[in-house]
Amino acid sequence: MTGSSLHGGPDPMARAAVVSVPARAAERPWLTHGARRLMFGYTLLAPAALYVLLLVGAPFLFSLYLAVSDANVGEPIAHFVGLENFKAALEMDVFWISLRNSVVFLVVAAVLKSLLGTSLAFLLLQDFKGKKLIRGLVVIPFTLPIAISVLSWKWMYDSQFSVINWVLSRMGLIGQFGTEGWPIWLGDPKLALVACILVNVWRTFPFSAIVLLAGFTSVPVEVIDAAKVDGCSFFQRFRHVVVPMIFPILMIGFLFDTVFTLSDLSVVYLLTQGGPANATKILPVLAYQIGIQAGSLGRGAAIALFLVPLLIPALILVLRNLKRREY
């Protein structure tokens, strides 16, 4: 009789066959453990990747389409023109002025934000009364609506009612009201770009300080104490101990800060609209004026895309240094 022994009991071979079937299935599952972990990781990353594609990728591709077409506000249909918009932009004198101002704006603002952000981060690491309150107040410039903060600065830069000039005159650094030493911040081509850079630095250097503060707090106290015992000075500890440990955080913060600075349209536009005499005109302002105000969408998109070559060196620097840290 199949499946049973001569004594009426179940056949041992049949029992082995029944047991061995799920055992072999368990040995060869449909997905391995590593594949399941990989799929789980991709599932977690999918919402962020979709968000980036929709928020960044789609507008970037659309700007590429506009840049190689003759799209404008008055025509419902755009035609392919190749690189004509880029060529026309390079032939504009105001484009080269805007490019120069953008580079100056980026370099000066980056240096000032690095110095102020590092100093503020070190101050916030110290123990003092009201430390939590000060940390909360520091982020106010970064969280305020940009229109409110910039319009407040525009009032402070006013040629007649400038609080800055009033303070400087009381300190004896400039002349009294109506004299030649009274600076016109937004009307003087030599001062207007400086005024815009100061507002940009005021708004965004708390972000640099917060990034550095997060990095400093992640450094183990035992490592700092060991460096002190070895006789390292403050700057030696910062250079040889702290910076190597928080280097990835510094690079990511530098990349974000570069993007924020280069794409800062609102500060310059609300303060000066690129004037006087194009002294503060940067590439985002020029692209907005030509693409939106003048209606030449294709040429405006082409001018805006010239920001990409300025961002690529910063991106390559960050990625190369982060990759080097892995080895």
User: For residue range 180-224, what is the model confidence (pLDDT) as tens digits?
Assistant: 667 888 988 889 999 999 999 999 888 888 888 888 888 888 888
Tell me, yes or no, whether 207 lies in a domain. yes
Asked if 167 and 244 sit in the same domain, the reply is yes
Asked if 59 and 196 sit in the same domain, the reply is no
Asked if 59 and 94 sit in the same domain, the reply is no
**Cβ neighbours of residue 164 closer than 8 Å, sequence gap 6 or more:** 156, 157, 185
Query: Can you tell me the mean pLDDT for 172-187?
Result: 74
Tokens 């980026």 belong to: 106
Helix orientation angle between 146-156 and 189-217, rounded to the nearest 10 degrees: 130
C-beta atoms surrounding 84 within 10 Å: 16
Tell me, yes or no, whether 248 lies in a domain. yes
Task: Decide if 237 contacts 228 (C-beta within 8 A).
Answer: yes
> Max Cα separation, the chain?
122
Tell me, yes or no, whether 78 lies in a domain. no
- Residue whose C-alpha is closest to residue 260's, from 50, 44, 83, 113: 113
- The tokens describing 262, both together, are 């280069």
- Using alpha carbons only, how large is the chain's radius of gyration in Å? 30
Tell me, yes or no, whether 1 lies in a domain. no
Asked if 123 and 46 sit in the same domain, the reply is no
Question: Which residue would you say has higher pLDDT here, 193 or 29?
Answer: 193
Q: Which domain range does residue 105 map to?
A: 83-325
pLDDT at 175 over 90: no
Asked if 60 and 94 sit in the same domain, the reply is no
pLDDT number for residue 10: 52
SS3 assignment for 143-174: HCCHHHHHHHHHHHCCCCCCHHHHHHHHCCCC
Helix orientation angle between 131-138 and 189-217, rounded to the nearest 10 degrees: 130
Helices (H), the chain: 12-27, 33-52, 58-67, 84-90, 93-125, 131-138, 140-143, 146-156, 163-170, 189-217, 221-229, 234-237, 243-245, 247-262, 266-271, 283-288, 297-305, 307-325
pLDDT at 16 over 60: no
pLDDT number for residue 286: 94
Tell me, yes or no, whether 76 lies in a domain. no
Please state, rounded to an integer, the average pLDDT across all residues of the chain.
83
Asked if 166 and 253 sit in the same domain, the reply is yes
Question: Which residue would you say has higher pLDDT here, 83 or 21?
Answer: 83
Asked if 169 and 248 sit in the same domain, the reply is yes
Asked if 18 and 109 sit in the same domain, the reply is no
pLDDT in tens, 312-324: 887 887 778 777 7
pLDDT in tens, 112-170: 998 888 888 888 887 788 878 888 888 888 888 888 899 999 999 987 788 888 888 88
Say how many domains are in the chain: 2
Tell me, yes or no, whether 142 lies in a domain. yes
Tell me, yes or no, whether 99 lies in a domain. yes
Tell me, yes or no, whether 73 lies in a domain. no
Highest averaged pLDDT of the listed ranges 13-27, 36-50, 140-154, 294-308: 294-308
Asked if 33 and 121 sit in the same domain, the reply is no
- Residue whose C-alpha is closest to residue 142's, from 193, 210, 198: 210
Indicate which CATH number applies to the domain containing 248: 1.10.3720.10
The DSSP line for 13-45 is HHHHHHHHHHHHHHHS-SS-HHHHHHHHHHHHH
pLDDT number for residue 35: 83
Asked if 146 and 223 sit in the same domain, the reply is yes
pLDDT at 98 over 90: yes
Query: Can you tell me the mean pLDDT for 26-34?
Result: 62
**Cβ neighbours of residue 168 closer than 8 Å, sequence gap 6 or more:** 174
pLDDT at 172 over 50: yes
Asked if 107 and 43 sit in the same domain, the reply is no
Least confident of 37-51, 96-110, 207-221: 207-221
Asked if 99 and 53 sit in the same domain, the reply is no
pLDDT at 101 over 90: yes
pLDDT number for residue 142: 82
pLDDT in tens, 233-278: 878 888 888 888 888 888 888 888 888 888 888 999 999 999 898 9
- Residue whose C-alpha is closest to residue 269's, from 199, 184, 316, 178: 199
Confidence of residue 295 (pLDDT cuts 50, 70, 90): very high
